[in-house]
Homo-oligomer: A and B are copies of this chain.
Amino acid sequence: MKILERLPRENGRDYALRVIKDNIIHLNLEPGSQISENELSAELGLSRTPVREALIELSKVRIIEIQPQKRSVVALIDYDLVEESRFMRNVLECAVVDLVCEMAGPEDVERLRENIRLQKFYWDNFNPDQLWTLDDHFHQMLFEIAHKSQVFALMQNISIHFDRVRNMALFSVKDPKIVQDHENMTESIACRDPVKTRELMEVHLSRYRIDAVVIRKAYPQYFKN
């Protein structure tokens, strides 16, 4: 497992949560593998309590399966859950871009364009981590513009299923077309064209569905069904 730096004033629980999530998404904690509160707390330099609290939270979204008095395992990729999480994102993000097309001011559009510029830079320089962060931030900005930040926060909880697959796609698929999607959306937002933007979002989010077969071939042992 890859141990990240603990942020200043970050409490143990949030730290544990951040590190564990990151390692699940990046497959350092492999789907199906057993995890131990004791091991994790030792690695993180914490006691069991904050680690346990983090694991409970992750079990709520079924990314970790806690079997009482037995063990805890990282959930295998359940494509029904991935689909549910994709459905949720799709429905919510499409509704949000509708609002964004109404509500976005020029400064909002400029912030989106700035994000795209950076995405292009990190794409040219092959920096998947930064690209990943910017992608997240792009979607988060859309929710902020529509004043739906809490919805974004909740959506992100279940999105970890989607994210794990999305992360695999970054390495197993040649041309993600992601940056281009984002740019097209930004410009159609600038034109205040909700129908077009919605359409683009729909295509954007469904790429991961299309890639499923490829991913599954690359990592067959990680799938549940």
Q: Which residues does A use to contact B, with CB under 8 Å?
A: 11, 13, 49, 53, 56-57, 60-62, 68, 80-81, 84-85, 87-88, 91-92, 95, 147-151, 154, 157-158
CB distance from A174 to the nearest CB of B (A): 31
Rounded to whole angstroms, the CA-CA distance of A60 and B13 in the bound complex is 12
Among B53, B80, B84, B150, contact of A84 (Cβ-Cβ < 8 Å): B150
Rounded to whole angstroms, the CA-CA distance of A13 and B85 in the bound complex is 26
Rounded to whole angstroms, the CA-CA distance of A61 and B157 in the bound complex is 11
Q: How many identical chains are in the complex?
A: 2
CB distance from A61 to the nearest CB of B (A): 7
CB distance from A109 to the nearest CB of B (A): 23
Chain B residue with minimal CB distance to A13? B56
Rounded to whole angstroms, the CA-CA distance of A92 and B94 in the bound complex is 11
B92 lies within 8 A of A154 (CB): no
